[in-house]
Amino acid sequence: MSSRKRIVVLGSTGSIGRQTLDVCRRLPDRLEVVGLAARTSDELLQAQADEFGVKNVALMQVGGLQAVTDLATLPEADLVVVAVAGVIGLRPTLAAVEAGKQVALASKEVLVAAGELFAPLLKKHKTLLTPIDSEHSAVFQCLQGYTPDQVQKVVLTASGGPFRGKSRAELAGVTVKQTLAHPTWNMGGKITVDSATLMNKGLEVIEAKWLFDLSLDQVEVVVHPQSIVHSFAFFKDGSSLAQMGWPDMRLPIQYALLYPERVESGLKPWDPASTPTLTFEKPVLDTFRCLALARLSAETGGTAPSAMNAANEAAVAAFLDGKCGFLEIADLVEHALSSHEPQEVTLDNIEAVDGWARATVRRQLGLG
C-alpha cells in the first residue's frame, strides 16, 4: 500500500490547480496525483497528465460533468481538490463526500450555494473538509483544539484590492486593466474582480458560517492591506489568535493537503521585523456594496445565495468583456437578488436558480 496521499485535482489548469500541482511537485514522497480534470484547457491538461504520469483524466467539454463527477469518486483517491469555478463543482463535491473522500475545497460556490446541503452531509459521512482559501485556512488553523462554544467570532481579513480608499465617483470609470492590478495577490480574473468589489469577502463570510458552524453575526470582515494576517479567531475569554505569513497560496494548499502534518514547504518564512506596521480598517459598505449584498442573501436564506452568486458571476463576466461598468456589478446583483423568490435548497433548485440569475443579468444588460 502506498504511503503517499493520492489526490485528484478538479480544475487542475486554473490558478489554484496549478499551484496545487506545484506543491505536489515539491513533495513527491508525500503526494501522488492520480486524477486531473479541467474544463477546456486540453493541451495544458495533457501536459500535466504526462508530467505526473496520470491516466485518469477528464475534460469537461468532451466528457461533460459526469466525467468530472466520476473522477471525484475514483476508488484509489484519498483526497479530492475542488478548484473548479462555478456551480459545476457542486455535484462532484457531493459525490466525493458521499464516497468518503477527504475534500480540499477552494471553490467558494459549493458552500455559498449549497452550505445548507453540505454541512449535514459532511457530518453524516464523517468527511474531512480542509479549506484552501487563505482566510478560511487561517481560521481553521486558529481553531484547532477549540470547540464552537468557546468561539466568540472570527474576523476575515481583506486586502481591499486595488481600489481601497476610492469613492464611488472615482470608481465610476475604472477599467478592466485597473481592476485586475491587484496589489498583493496573483489570481485569476474573476476572483481578482471579486476582490476589487469585496464580493470575495461576502462569499467568504457565507463559507465561514458553514465551515465553522457559526452564525452570520459571528463572522466579520476587516480590511488589512498588507495581507500578512490572514484571519483572526476571537474567543469568549477575551483572547484572540491570528495566522500570519507572506501572501502565497501554496502554504494554505499544502496545509489542506497534508493536514494535520506540517512539513518543510520551501517557502520564504515571514519575518515580523520586515513588516513593522500592520494596519486594519473597516470596509466601506456604501462604496463596496457587494459585501453587504452577499450578507443579505445569506440572511434571506434558501436559494438566495445561489441567485446572488450566479448573478455576480454573470456580471463579472460582462464587466471583463466590456459589457458593463465596474459599479454596475453590484447593481446587477442587487436586481437579481430583489427579483428572486427563495426556494428550498436542493441541487436541482440550485442549478435552476443559477441559470435564472444568469439570464436575468443578461436581460438587464440587453444581451438576450
35-51: per-residue pLDDT in tens? 999 998 889 999 999 99
Q: What string of H, E and C letters represents the secondary structure of 127-144?
A: CCEEECCHHHHHHHHHCC
Q: Which run of H or of E encompasses 105?
A: strand 102-105
| pLDDT, position 2 | 57
**Could you tell me the pLDDT band of residue 162, with boundaries at 50, 70 and 90?**
very high
pLDDT at 310 over 80: yes
| Residue 356: other Cβ atoms inside 10 A | 17
The span from the CA of 366 to the CA of 368, in Å, is 6
Pairing of strands 229-235, 240-244: antiparallel
Yes or no: say if 155 and 221 are a contact pair by the CB < 8 Å rule: yes
Q: For 213, left (φ over 0), alpha (ψ -120 to 50), or beta?
A: left
Task: Give percent of the chain above pLDDT 70.
Answer: 99
Average pLDDT rounded to a whole number, residues 112-135: 93
Higher pLDDT, 108 or 200: 200
pLDDT band of 186, cuts 50, 70, 90: low
pLDDT at 188 over 80: no
pLDDT tens digits for 75-104? Answer: 999 999 999 987 889 999 999 999 999 999
Instruction: Say what the pLDDT of residue 86 is.
Output: 78
Q: Which CATH number fits domain 5-127: 3.40.50.300, 3.40.50.720, 3.30.1330.60, 3.10.180.10?
A: 3.40.50.720
DSSP 3-state of 295: helix
> pLDDT confidence of 276, banded at 50, 70, 90?
very high
Mean pLDDT within 59-84: 94
Domain ranges of the chain: 5-127
Pinpoint the alpha helices (H) of 125-228.
Answer: 134-142, 168-171, 176-179, 189-197, 199-211
Confidence grade of residue 1 (pLDDT, cut at 50, 70, 90): very low
Instruction: Tell me what the pLDDT averaged over the chain comes to.
Output: 94
Cell 513527491 belongs to which residue? 28
Residue 187 has pLDDT above 80, yes or no: no
Whole-angstrom distance, CA of residue 283 vs CA of residue 86: 26
CB atoms within 10 A of CB 45: 21
pLDDT at 183 > cutoff 80: no
Structure pTM?
A: 0.94
Q: Phi, psi at residue 82, to the nearest 5°?
A: -105, 100
Closest C-alpha among 157, 136, 148 to residue 235: 148
Which residue did the predictor score with more confidence, 1 or 78? 78
Q: What is the pLDDT of residue 108?
A: 86
- β-strands 31-38, 151-158 pairing: unpaired
> Is 253 or 109 the better-scoring residue by pLDDT?
253
- How far, in Å, CA of 222 to CA of 243, rounded? 15
Residue type, position 72, single letter: A
Q: Could you identify the residue written with the cell 452577499?
A: 294
What is d(CA 306, CA 312) in angstroms, rounded to the nearest whole number?
10
